[in-house]
Amino acid sequence: MPPEYRGRVTPVTTLRTAHTADLTPTELAAARALMDLAFDGDFSDEDWDHGLGGVHALVHDAEGELLAHGSVVQRRVLHNGRSLRVGYVEAVATRPDRQRQGLGGQVMGALEDVVERAYDLGVLSPSEEGEKLYRAHGWQTWTGPVGTLGPRGVEEMPDEDAPMIWGGDLDPAHTLLIDWRDGDVF
């Protein structure tokens, strides 16, 4: 329990997972607004689009206000002659006034449960602020080369920040090629 809650009643929160198709327009709008708040306006519509179409983890307070969010969507990675189904974690954020209270950990735990049950491994592109949370959950920085299989074929990405992975038995001697998408590939 965080020190600020020792000796006090822990605030009541609820964790819910749901597919994008099962969220109402109001719930999606609240999650999108949370991204703008948490990322201080540096979260594009393209970034938001990357987090749709999969399973969302949402933490609400007792009054129903959204406090934290994350999603996991399916992507494909080619690695060492194999095509792997990847749970790609996106749009992880906690309201700034509720950070460091374990809410991000709740979101990650729920998303990792989805990854473990449905995918070969998890992949994410960490923000500097989020990296500590991911490391605490066992995510590791990929040490090998990265690239994408895009419209022009295989494209190496030597200047790309390394993604983090969770699970899977990958060999960093071989390139991690992720499927192409508009905007940030990783």
The residue-averaged pLDDT of 169-177 equals: 96
Number of domains in the chain: 1
184 domain-assigned: no
Q: Residue 128: is its pLDDT beyond 50?
A: yes
The residue-averaged pLDDT of 134-160 equals: 95
Residue 56: Cβ within 10 Å count: 27
* Tokens found for residue 169: 């038995």
* Tokens found for residue 98: 């509720």
185 domain-assigned: no
Q: Residue 157: is its pLDDT beyond 70?
A: yes
Q: Residue 1: is its pLDDT beyond 50?
A: no
The residue-averaged pLDDT of 31-37 equals: 98
SS3 annotation, 34-62: HHHHHCCCCCCHHHHHHCCCCEEEEEEEC
User: For residue 150, what is the domain's CATH number?
Assistant: 3.40.630.30
pLDDT computed for residue 12 by the predictor: 85
Residue range(s) defining the domain that contains residue 20: 3-179
104 domain-assigned: yes
Our CA angle for 34, 109, 161, nearest 5°, is: 70
pLDDT computed for residue 99 by the predictor: 94
Q: What is the pLDDT of residues 69-125, one digit of tens each?
A: 999 999 999 999 999 999 999 999 999 999 999 999 999 999 999 999 999 999 999
186 domain-assigned: no
